[in-house]
């Protein structure tokens, strides 16, 4: 008994940016346009993706408010949330409802209204998705993303300058596409000068490495009956809440597992994908995503960026919409906005200057929830593509799934030695922490890892031996130990550069 096929019968976006419209009106605006395209005035199910309307806007019960606002009170309506991948989470939920055969049409609407609060309030609300133990260190989303960026550079032998070049290129590439996208928050190209002039948020991440705070909504109508595009593959996986528990800092298990599921369901492989919308809330994440999705081997994503392989003219265009970076990132909406973009490009419903070089047949979207721990991958194909492949499908995608690190014992040791995995200076830490806040991530001699604070304006070097001391507040503080390696430092830099030049294949 195969499930019912699930088509996209209509799709729409509001413009993204700082908008005066209340959230429910944003949602209704996108929904109304998608319903109109689908030629429907009613649906039997509504799925509303909002991440945290209660705290951002003081309004709850959004599922009801939206159905009411659309004049379709009566329709079953539910709110779905998977942190910053909420839009994709709502899509998956609706997909199952239609695939089950119990629902013929489902309206998926996702949005967020974020600009009503101050940046510090918004940052606090967004940080609620971070594991409590790591939030206690003052870790915000940019801080953790910065630690991941640093670890990536270390693992793949990139010096800081090369890393910055890569991140700048991602930002410039996405802003260039945003400049063409009438829905984008930033419809302006980004120059190298402007990128480097923008302040550091948490080194190596600058303001232009981080997606903005945005209002906006997206909507898609799913149907088991008809539509120009079919949802051919859906994947969804989680990872540990604490970043320190991850077996790998430089890839996301959750993307890899979600991708495996989606490829298998759609019977396609990474090399069949013609373009992708990849979650670039931080520029680094786009690079990691491009590897986790199998477009490039681990450790080759950064070079592909420099080589232009992910540009609109490249081998595998990534974020033709401008991505979260330039289109904007209303946290609840982004995962669904990606799907709307993929739909539009597949059916050619974009301005000619936005078209891709080759007419696409397979599109992929990847959305990250939280700090890479609730990720979804969706594969879209034209409805004309046969439901079942002519020949048995052979997967070419066999990523490593990294087992988690051990947890520390409940009684944390007062002193323990370890090795620094990554470090950053967070320029604007949450209230109650000194600025800048020195945050390191260290692997202890017992195998578990932890965040730790450090003093000073110069982060210790990844790979350094450190001693960790439990402070009275229950948090670790780290100190780099004087080591014999120190005199080797200049040589290490040469070795890193060499490895970088060779594009060393290293999956950690």
Task: Give the interface with a copy of itself as residue ranges (CB under 8 A).
Answer: 1-4, 46, 51-52, 54-55, 58-61, 63-65, 67-68, 73-83, 89, 92-93, 96-97, 99-103, 125, 128-132, 234, 236-242, 245, 253-254, 257-258, 265, 369-370, 373-374, 401, 404
Asked whether 166 and 287 are in contact (CB, 8 A), the reply is: yes
Residue 312 C-beta: closest distance to a copy of itself, Å:
32
Q: What does DSSP assign to residue 58?
A: S
Residue 119 C-beta: closest distance to a copy of itself, Å:
18
Asked whether 499 and 299 are in contact (CB, 8 A), the reply is: no
In the bound state with a copy of itself, the residue whose beta carbon lies nearer, of 16 and 47, is 47
**Three-state secondary-structure class, residue 424:** strand
Dihedral pair phi/psi, residue 506, rounded to 5°: -140, 115
Residue 147 C-beta: closest distance to a copy of itself, Å:
18
Asked whether 209 and 195 are in contact (CB, 8 A), the reply is: no
Residue 344 C-beta: closest distance to a copy of itself, Å:
26
Residue 94 C-beta: closest distance to a copy of itself, Å:
9
| Surface-to-core class of residue 487, CB atoms within 10 Å of its CB (0-12 exposed, 13-18 middle, 19+ buried) | exposed
| Surface-to-core class of residue 427, CB atoms within 10 Å of its CB (0-12 exposed, 13-18 middle, 19+ buried) | middle
Residue 234 C-beta: closest distance to a copy of itself, Å:
8
In the bound state with a copy of itself, the residue whose beta carbon lies nearer, of 203 and 239, is 239
Please state, in angstroms and rounded to a whole number, the distance separating the CA atoms of residues 281 and 396. Answer: 28
Please state, in angstroms and rounded to a whole number, the distance separating the CA atoms of residues 36 and 427. Answer: 46
Asked whether 426 and 147 are in contact (CB, 8 A), the reply is: no
Per DSSP bridges, beta strands 363-367 and 415-426 are: unpaired
In the bound state with a copy of itself, the residue whose beta carbon lies nearer, of 74 and 456, is 74
In the bound state with a copy of itself, the residue whose beta carbon lies nearer, of 24 and 326, is 24
Residue 166 C-beta: closest distance to a copy of itself, Å:
28
In the bound state with a copy of itself, the residue whose beta carbon lies nearer, of 240 and 465, is 240
In the bound state with a copy of itself, the residue whose beta carbon lies nearer, of 236 and 496, is 236
Q: What does DSSP assign to residue 153?
A: H
In the bound state with a copy of itself, the residue whose beta carbon lies nearer, of 206 and 402, is 402
């Amino acid at each position: 008994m195969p499930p019912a096929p699930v088509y996209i019968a209509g799709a729409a976006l509001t413009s993204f940016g700082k908008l005066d419209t209340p959230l429910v009106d944003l949602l209704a605006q996108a929904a109304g346009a998608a319903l109109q395209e689908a030629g429907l005035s009613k649906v039997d199910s509504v799925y509303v993706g909002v991440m945290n309307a209660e705290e951002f806007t003081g309004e709850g019960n959004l599922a009801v408010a939206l159905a009411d606002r659309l004049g379709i009170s009566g329709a079953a309506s539910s709110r779905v949330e998977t942190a910053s991948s909420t839009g994709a989470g709502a899509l998956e939920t609706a997909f199952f409802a239609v695939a089950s055969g119990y629902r013929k049409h489902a309206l998926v609407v996702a949005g967020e209204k974020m600009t009503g609060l101050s940046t510090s309030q918004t940052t606090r609300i967004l940080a609620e998705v971070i594991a409590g133990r790591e939030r206690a260190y003052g870790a915000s989303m940019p801080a953790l993303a910065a630690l991941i960026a640093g670890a990536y550079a270390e693992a793949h032998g990139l010096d800081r300058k090369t890393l910055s070049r890569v991140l700048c290129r991602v930002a410039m590439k996405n802003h260039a596409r945003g400049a063409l996208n009438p829905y984008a928050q930033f419809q302006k190209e980004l120059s190298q000068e402007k990128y480097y002039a923008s302040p550091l948020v948490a080194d190596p991440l600058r303001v232009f490495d981080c997606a903005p705070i945005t209002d906006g909504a997206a909507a898609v109508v799913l149907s088991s009956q008809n539509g120009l595009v079919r949802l051919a593959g859906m994947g969804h996986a989680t990872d540990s809440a604490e970043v320190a528990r991850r077996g790998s800092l430089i890839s996301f298990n959750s993307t890899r597992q979600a991708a495996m599921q989606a490829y298998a369901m759609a019977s396609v492989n990474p090399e069949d994908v013609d373009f992708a919308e990849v979650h670039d809330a931080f520029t680094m994440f786009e690079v990691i995503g491009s590897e986790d999705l199998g477009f490039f081997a681990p450790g080759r994503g950064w070079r592909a960026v420099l080589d232009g392989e992910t540009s609109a003219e490249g081998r595998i265009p990534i974020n033709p919409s401008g991505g979260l970076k330039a289109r904007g990132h209303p946290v609840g909406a982004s995962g669904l906005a990606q799907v709307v973009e993929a739909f539009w490009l597949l059916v050619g419903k974009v301005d000619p200057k936005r078209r891709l070089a080759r007419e696409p047949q397979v599109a992929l979207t990847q959305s990250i929830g939280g700090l890479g721990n609730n990720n979804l991958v969706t594969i879209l194909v034209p409805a004309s593509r046969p439901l079942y492949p002519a020949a048995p499908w052979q997967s070419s995608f066999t990523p490593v799934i990294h087992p988690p690190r051990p947890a520390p014992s409940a009684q944390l040791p007062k002193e323990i030695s370890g090795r620094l995995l990554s470090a950053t200076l967070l320029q604007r830490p949450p209230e109650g922490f000194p600025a800048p806040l020195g945050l390191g991530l260290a692997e202890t001699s017992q195998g578990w890892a932890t965040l730790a604070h450090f003093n000073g304006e110069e982060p210790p070097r990844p790979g350094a031996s450190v001693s960790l001391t439990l402070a009275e507040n229950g948090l670790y503080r780290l100190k780099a130990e004087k080591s014999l390696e120190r005199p080797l430092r200049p040589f290490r830099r040469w070795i890193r550069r060499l490895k970088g030049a060779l594009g060393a294949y290293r999956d950690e």
